[in-house]
Structure formats: structure tokens, C-alpha cells
Structure 1
């Protein structure tokens, strides 16, 4: 028996619900009550906040235990409840994949890029004002104001150096975590309890596919693991000769990925230019909803393509670090490669129901909308 069922009732679940069921319920209720879907309801924000608070408590094992035993008043997070909109953006923003891919920078990159653009716009405005004071009028040719200064170039170089250092740090950390999972598989296989390992992995996959771009991330990880593991196994069977072929093939795929990224960006830019000529206020409710959905989809597509390109490079380095580790014997590394193939096979079989697929699409668009609002909020501060 639980002392209070209010939070369970808000999410529409039973007190015996599993962590995955709680997560699914929050996803569904968050979409149903999101203020963007109820612009004429003055209570929309309150209802959305209640859903967020319920999930913040029930998704935390210790808080849920206190809630079940003592009720709401004794189950308040130490730092207080987070703002529902910020929590909404963060909770399914890819954090569940952190042990597999490190920091997923999809929305982080967008936020930093927005802040950078705002800084540059402010800097240009200031420069133009100074020019007007000095010359008495704004120069018709503003190309000189767009050139990067020595300080700006230095700052960009420092940012790129830091990005590379952060990347290598993540590679080291992810290699340790993947090695642990691989060793768990090998122990389970040798100890005849592979069913237990598989059951835990299947449960993790069920949780991961609920994340933003969860299915796409699972497939991306599977593709990299499968490619790197098969290449390693083949190279050992052919005494390393196959590396010439597989290396060339991998390089070709990298070039293709870069080309696809460029194509996606150009296509999105063209679409945005066309859509910028449209005045949303002149559209009816249906046309405006379609317009906004198209805008959100294009923006998500560009961000996803950029993040995927960087992520593939990171995961390949992680696999290389494990499979090329000379401190492990050839036999041990072959076993690790086979473990990667097992994980890749499980990840590649993950599926969403039609209902889950539609929920994922709507949820990702709502997350993008919430993130854009947050960016605007930061740019004002």
C-alpha cells in the first residue's frame, strides 16, 4: 500500500508501474498537456507543471520510496522542482545514451550557436555605431566589418582545440564503459548465464528507444560496432591484408557522410529561405500548423545530420581504442569484437510501434520548440 496515489493518478499509472512504464506515461502526458498544444487554456502551464513534478518524483528511486511511504510533502527534491519546460527539454534530450555515446550535443550545439550568433550580431552593431560616430555616416560597403579580427580567429582556434580535447576525453571514458559491457557479455557467455545479460540489455534498449532520436541512435551505434568489429575479425583472418580494403571503404563512407551533411544543410537553407517569405499570420490554423511542423522538421534534420557525423567519428575512435589495445591478446580482442557484434545485433533489431513512432515525431518537435524558447530566453538575459 502507498500513502498517496496522486502522482500515479496524474500520470495515469498504477503504483506497481516499472521505471519504463513511468517514463512512457510521462512522455504521453507531457505531450497531452504541453502548453503549445493548448494556447487558449489558462491552466495549461499548471497542468504541465504537475505532470513534470509527478515524473521528477516517481523517476527518482529514493524520492519515489519516500513518496510511497510518507506522501508528497516528504518527497520534494533537495534542490526543489525544476521548471517543467526546461525539464521537458532535458529529460529526453539523449541523456539516457550517455554511457554509450557520451555527451549528445544536438541541442547543446544549437544553444551555443545561437548565443554565438547573438554575440556576433551585437558586436557588429557596436562596430557600426563606432563607424558612424567616426565618419559621420554608415559606410555603404560593410564587408570590412564582416572580416574576422585576429582575436576572433584566435578564439575560434582555442574553441576548436578545446573541442578536440573534450572529444578525446570522451573517447577514453566511453572506451572504459564499453569495455566493461563487453567483459560482462564475455563472462555471461562463458558462465552460461547469457540470458540474464540479454534480459538487462533488452530492458535498456526499451528505455533508450524512448529518448529523442532514440531509434536512430541505436541504429547508428549498431552500424559502427558492426563495421569496426567485422573489419577487425576479417583483418585477423587475412593477416591484416583486408585493412587496405576496409580502410579505403571506411574513408569512402566518411566522405559520403560529409557530402550528405553538406547536402542536408544546403537543402534546409534553401527551404528556410523559401519559408522566410511566408507570413504565418496570414495562414489559417491548419496551414500554420503545417508550416510550423515543416520548419521544425527541417531544423531537426540539419541538427541531426551534424550531430550524427560527429558522433560516428567518436564511436569509431572508441572501437579502435578497444580493438587495437596491444595489452590484450589477439584472442581476447577477437572475443571483444564478437561481443560488439552481439550488442550491434540487439540494437539493430529495436523497433517502435506505429503509435510510438508518431509520439516520437511529435515529442521531438515539441522539444525543439521548447529549446528554441529557452535559447530566446538566454539571448534576452
Structure 2
């Protein structure tokens, strides 16, 4: 019996869940709760941390057994919990491909660049606005604080930078602009420094990958390269590829690397022929592929953004309907009270009419008729004004539709991340191939041998497939991306007549 189900509840799974179900649940929760996807949620980092801890415990059979029997305290790893961000990255990419493509850093670099460029200032401004409107007490404290700072400045107890910005004891608009310019200059310098660090790191990574690839190719290039060596070399590469294909997107990465190896090999070997015309054609084809991949990457990012906006609109639509239903309920309550009041008044009028019936019957009938006509006319006018004021309202979405859209959005975001990562992989692999094939420190014969070895590896990687059983285990995120690539059937927006009929049924 499980004494504590907290970790299971965090992943939204049963206590009897298998390791594969735990992995799927974690990856789904990690994408949903990642701080980068929830910039406006101050608790996002804590939630992401908790989910990471839950997976680290439940994915380890020993720790899971301790947790089921004794609870949280007895299941903490001896070395402590890993950083959830690093653990998250490791689960998606893993260390398996590190010797082939290095460490993927494009998404983290983009996030850091956006931060240094000031794209996160809007959120800070919103927070400042909320803080400014909390009450008069805070305003008084702020004014007193400013006054104290000004007094301190006039007495000469501030740092040397403050008098420069507050010339003559006054904070003029010109000085404010200077302060802003200094901040922008500092931010720009930090961004340039970060970009230079990324550039240097990228060069170092590619040089290191080139050395590792040369060592792998040496099993073929430093032999007599006969048929038995070719078979042995490809067998070894295939053995490694069998393990790599089981990683998340492992098969897609293998195919990507394989196609680039084959293309680079063809370009180099064709360039050694008469005038190198064949190499020129393949080189142009490769450049066309780069343009196509760039377009796909940008399109995937824009598609994810559009889907996010659509999901946000669905939430706003439901908020509109929730507010409207609350207003209608309040109006209905007031209408019932008015009806009760009118019924009482009508009873009193009837009593008065009965008393005066014998004395002034014709006058009463005439008055009643005119009153009825005026009431009927007012009712018709009111009905006409209501019909005129009716506007086309947004559709109301069910919980199932929102859940489906959330899953669809997750797939779109993941597809954008995958396309960005794939673009980075392609750039890295192409650069590494250029390094080893255009290395003038070795002979042409050696470079030709390297090109042939690349072609052999490419043939193996491109030919890799998964069985149905292997696909069931490995295709966790691939399924989300595949579903996101399909055209989603949008719910048909109800016509105005259908909306009126629905309101009439609701009223009855």
C-alpha cells in the first residue's frame, strides 16, 4: 500500500503506473509547467521543481519502493535532487548524441538573448503598475523615501554617480534620458559579450566534434579499406545506431545526420572529378535545402504562436460567457423580483377596479384598454431594442475542447522546439563535415578516404528504422508533433438564429 500519493498526483497517474507511463506523464507535465512557457506565473519554477523531483523518485525503482513504503523523506536521493532544468534537457536530448552533435544550446541562447535585449521588461512594467496602485499609504512612504534621498544628496552623502544624474538637486527630463541611455548601453554591451561567448563556444564545440568524428572515421581511413573492413566498419556503426534510435527523436536525428553525411561526401568526391561540375550541382542543392529548413523552422515558430493566440482567445471566450451567465442570472433574479412586485400591484389594481366597477365601468374599460395598448407597445419597443442590441457573440467551448486544444498547443510548441533544434543540428553537422573535409593539414588522399567513410556512416544512419514495439517505447513526443502537424477540425461557429434558439430553450 502506498502511504503517500503526492508524487503520483503531481504527475496525474495511478500508483500502479508503469515506467513508460511515468515517463510520458513527466514529459507532458514538464512541457506544461516549464517556467519559459509560464512567464507570468510566479510559482512556475516551484511547480516545475516538484514535478522533476517526483519523476526522479518514481523513475528509480529503489527510490520508488522507499517512497511507496515510507513517504517523501526516506526517498530523497543520497546525492540530492538534480537541477530540474538540466534534468529536463537530459531527458529530451540525453548524452547519447553528444559525440555526434554536441550540446544543443539554441533555445537557451535565444531565451538569454531575449532577456538581455529587454523583451521581459513588459512584465516588470506590469508589476510596477500593480505596485503603484496598491494604496495611498505606499505613495506616502514612497514620497517620504524620495525626500530623504534628496536630502541625503544635498548633504553630499550619496555616491558620485547620483549627483551626476541629479544635477543642481533636480531630476530633470534630460537627466532621466541620460540614465536610460546608460542602461541601454550597458544592456547592449552585455548582449554583445554574450553573443561573442556563444560564438567562441560554438567554434570550440565544432573543433572538438571534428576530432571525435576523425577518430570514428579512422577505423576505416587508417586501414586498407577493403570489403571486409567496410562490412566491419558499418556493423560497428549500426550497433551504435541501434541504441541512438531509441532516444527521443533519435530516429529523426539519425536520418538528419545521415543525409548530411551523404550529401557532403557526394559534394567533395564530385569536386575531384573533371571541372567538379557534379559537386557544384550538389552544392547548390544543399543550399536550397538550407533555405527550405530555415523556412520550416520559422513557420513552425509562427504556427506555435498562432495556436497560442487561438488557445488564449478560447479562454477569453469562456470568460466572456461566464461573465454573461452571471449577469443573466442576476438580471433573472431582479426580473423575478419585479414580476412579484408587479403581481402584487396588479392584485391591488384589480381590487380597486372591482370597487369602482359598479360606479364607473365604461371609464375603467377605456382606461384599461389604453393601459394595455401602451404596455403592449412598450413591450414591443423593448423587444425591438433587445433584438437591435444583439451582436454576434463568441462561441462557448467545453472542457473537452479546451483540453484538446491544450494538447494540440503542446504539440505545436514541441514541433517548434524540435524544428529549431533540428536546424541547429544541421548547422553543426555541416560545419564539422567542412572542417574534416577541407583540412589542408592532411593529404587529399586522406580527405577522400574520410568522405568515403562519411558516406558509409550516412548509409547506415538513413537506413535505420524502429519496430512497432520499439516505436511504442520511444515515440513519446513524436506522437504529439505528428498530431500537431495534422489539420485540426475547428468547431463550427453557431449562427445568430441558432444562438437565439439556444437562449429561448435556456429561458424556457
Please give the TM-score of this superposition, normalised by the length of structure 1.
0.66
Write out per-residue CA displacement over residues 106-143 of structure 1, whole angstroms, 9 at most, x where no aligned residue: 66457647866885345545786999999xxxxxxxxx
Q: CA deviation at 1:269?
A: 1.9
Match in the other structure for 1:333: 447
Note the residue ranges of structure 1 that are not aligned, 5 or more in a row: 1-25, 38-43, 57-75, 135-145, 367-381
What's the counterpart of residue 419 of structure 2? 305
How far apart in 1 are the matches of 2:55 and 2:27?
7
Counterpart position of 1:72: none
How far did 1:354 drift? 3.7
Structure 2 residue aligned with 1:98 = 98
Distance in 2 between residues matched to 1:104 and 1:45, nearest whole Å: 20
1:30 to 9, 22, 25: 22
Aligned partner of 1:237 in structure 2 is 273
Residue 187 of structure 2 corresponds to residue 152 of structure 1: yes
Shift of 1:320: 0.7
Quick one: structure 1 residues 123 and 259, their matched pair in 2 at CA, closer, same or farther if it must change by over 3 Å? same
**8 Å CA contact 2:220, 2:229 repeated in 1:** no
- 1:246 Cα offset (Å): 3.6
- Deviations along 1:191-248, one digit per CA (max 9) or x if unpaired, are 8455554343223212211222111111111111111110000000234444543443
**Distance in 1 of aligned mates of 2:417 and 2:234:** 33
> What RMSD, in angstroms, separates the aligned Cα atoms of the two structures?
4.3
1:169 aligns with 2:161: no
Is the deviation greater in 282-291 or in 150-159?
A: 282-291
> 1:250–1:204: structure 2 CA closer, same or farther, 3 Å change rule?
same
Change (3 A) 1:46 1:252: closer
CA distance in 2, matches of 1:259, 1:196: 39
Judge conservation of contact 2:304–2:413 (CA < 8 Å) in 1.
yes
Alpha carbons of structure 1 residues 307 and 50: separation in structure 2 relative to 1, 3 Å: closer
Instruction: For residues 146-202 of structure 1, give each alpha carbon's deviation from its aligned partner in whole angstroms, at most 9, with x where no partner exists.
Output: 999233333322222222211111110110011111111335664845555434322
- The answer to whether residue 297 in structure 2 is matched with residue 290 in structure 1 is no
How far apart are the structure 1 equivalents of 2:475 and 2:397?
23
Q: Please, which runs of 5 or more residues in structure 2 have no aligned partner?
A: 1-17, 30-50, 64-75, 134-138, 143-179, 319-395, 481-508
The answer to whether 1:203 aligns with 2:239 is yes
Q: Secondary structure at the match of 1:328?
A: coil
Which residue does the alignment assign to 2:71? Answer: none
Contact 2:100–2:213 under 8 Å retained in 1: yes
Match of 1:217 in 2: 253
What is the CA–CA distance in structure 1 between the aligned matches of 2:85 and 2:309, rounded to whole Å?
A: 29
Within the alignment, does 1:318 sit opposite 2:414 as a pair?
A: no
In structure 1, distance between residues paired with 2:115 and 2:451: 42
Structure 1 match to 2:59: 52
In structure 2, C-alpha distance between the alignment counterparts of 1:286 and 1:274, rounded to whole Å: 16
- Taking the aligned partners of 2:115 and 2:218, their CA distance within structure 1 comes to 42
Question: CA separation in 1, counterparts of 2:205 and 2:185?
Answer: 30
Assess if the C-alpha contact under 8 Å between 1:94 and 1:211 holds in 2. Answer: yes
More deviation in 229-238 or 119-128?
Answer: 119-128
